[in-house]
């Protein structure tokens, strides 16, 4: 409990996890709050570092080193980079999914 001189502030987040993901996708599409660039082959996309770090040890390690631009080597398996629908690594380049 806070002492008499400390103010306690509560933030109520009424969004479900699905609506939070939808908001993140919308922000990324608009270029809002994107703080990292991911490059795969000749393609690139802007993304939220916290989302990448939460979904991938590969990105977390790079981001902990302070990288704001991350090149994904062509030999890194897609499931190592990020699972699910978010980023699909193919020989032809990058498919930007609905995530990130």
How far apart CA 60 and CA 71 sit, in angstroms, is: 13
Q: pLDDT tens digits, the chain, 100 residues: what are they?
A: 555 678 888 777 766 788 888 888 899 899 999 999 999 888 888 999 999 999 899 999 999 999 999 998 876 555 555 544 455 444 444 444 444 4
CA terminus-to-terminus distance, the chain: 37
Residue 28: CB atoms within 10 A of its CB come to 20
Q: Which domains does the chain have, with CATH numbers?
A: 17-96 (3.30.710.10)
Distances (CA, A) of 33 to 38, 83, 96: 15, 22, 17
User: Taking the model in full, what pTM does it have?
Assistant: 0.60
CB burial of residue 14 (10 Å; 0-12, 13-18, 19+): exposed
**36 φ/ψ angles, rounded to the nearest 5 degrees:** -150, 145
């Amino acid at each position: 409990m806070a002492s008499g001189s400390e103010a306690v502030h509560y933030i109520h987040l009424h969004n479900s996890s699905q609506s939070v993901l939808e908001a993140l996708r919308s922000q990324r599409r608009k270029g809002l709050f994107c703080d990292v660039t991911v490059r795969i082959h000749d393609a690139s996309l802007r993304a939220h570092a916290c989302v990448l770090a939460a979904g991938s040890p590969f990105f977390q390690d790079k981001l902990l080193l302070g990288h704001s631009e991350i090149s994904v080597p062509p030999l890194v398996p897609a499931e190592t980079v990020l699972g699910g629908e978010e980023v699909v690594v193919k020989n032809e380049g990058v498919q930007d999914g609905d995530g990130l």
